[in-house]
Amino acid sequence: QLTGDGARVRDELTGGELDLPARAVVNATGVWAGTLTSDVALRPSRGTHLVVRSATLGQPGAAVSVPFPGQPGRFLLTLPWLDGMTLVGLTDVDAGTTIPDVPQPADAEVDQLVAAVNEVLRVPIGKEDVVGRFAGLRPLLTDHAADGASTADLSRRHSVTVGTEGLVTVTGGKLTTYRRMA
């Protein structure tokens, strides 16, 4: 339990609890922020990347960003990565209400990305060319005006909220704008 001047914490091994006082508390826990305070409402979104051997894609020497087929305003990215690999992404899927500690890409996301690569690049790939995959979660702010909308349509802007008990919560945003958020 968090407040603006401390936290009540529980030792998961012993069950013991104690109060930790602080001059200020910042809740910057990403998709888990809403589990620590009722002052924010989040709608987590999962994004998946595939890992493909660069040779399979013709050894791209630079990142490529092209419109995602059939999804206006979204882009398919290929990004040369480590050890002769290229990242392909990125999906945007509602992650639901149960937030996993380690998000896993769904097979449908892999299929979607493989199909998109095959539609927009000259070098087709198959699922057998995918040597790795991983997912992350975006802490998107709920927009009640957009209830029922795709997570791709929700704002990526960040928010700093000072709750009724003085707890400062930072939510939303993107990895690429983390400096501005801080």
Q: Supply the CATH number for residue 63's domain.
A: 3.30.9.10
**Per-residue pLDDT, 51:** 98
What pLDDT, in 10s, does the model give residues 31-67? 898 888 888 888 888 999 999 999 999 998 899 999 9
pLDDT higher at 129 or 154? 129
**Residue 91 belongs to a domain:** yes
**Residue 27 belongs to a domain:** no
Residue by residue, DSSP assigns 78-120 as: EEE-STTEEEEE---EE--SS--SS----HHHHHHHHHHHHHH
Q: What residues make up the domain containing 62?
A: 44-137
Region 158-170: mean pLDDT is: 83
Q: How many domains does the chain have?
A: 1
What pLDDT, in 10s, does the model give residues 107-119? 999 999 999 999 9
Q: Are strands 26-27 and 17-21 parallel, antiparallel or unpaired?
A: unpaired
Query: Are 121 and 86 contacting, i.e. CB atoms less than 8 angstroms apart?
Result: no
Q: What is the mean pLDDT of the chain?
A: 86
pTM: 0.78
**pLDDT at residue 91 greater than cutoff 60:** yes
Confidence class of residue 171 from pLDDT cuts 50, 70 and 90?
confident
d(CA 134, CA 143): 27
Q: Give percent of the chain above pLDDT 70.
A: 90
Region 82-93: mean pLDDT is: 93
d(CA 10, CA 46): 29
Confidence class of residue 145 from pLDDT cuts 50, 70 and 90?
very low
Region 77-106: mean pLDDT is: 92
28-39 b/e (C-beta count within 10 Å ≥ 16 → b):
ebbbebbebbeb
**Per-residue pLDDT, 127:** 96
**Residue 50 belongs to a domain:** yes
**Residue 9 belongs to a domain:** no
Closest residue by Cα to residue 46 from 108, 91, 112: 91
- Backbone region of residue 55 per phi and psi (left: phi > 0; alpha: psi in -120 to 50; beta: other values): alpha
**Residue 3 belongs to a domain:** no
**Residue 108 belongs to a domain:** yes
Helix ranges (H only) for the chain are 33-36, 107-120, 178-181
**Residue 146 belongs to a domain:** no
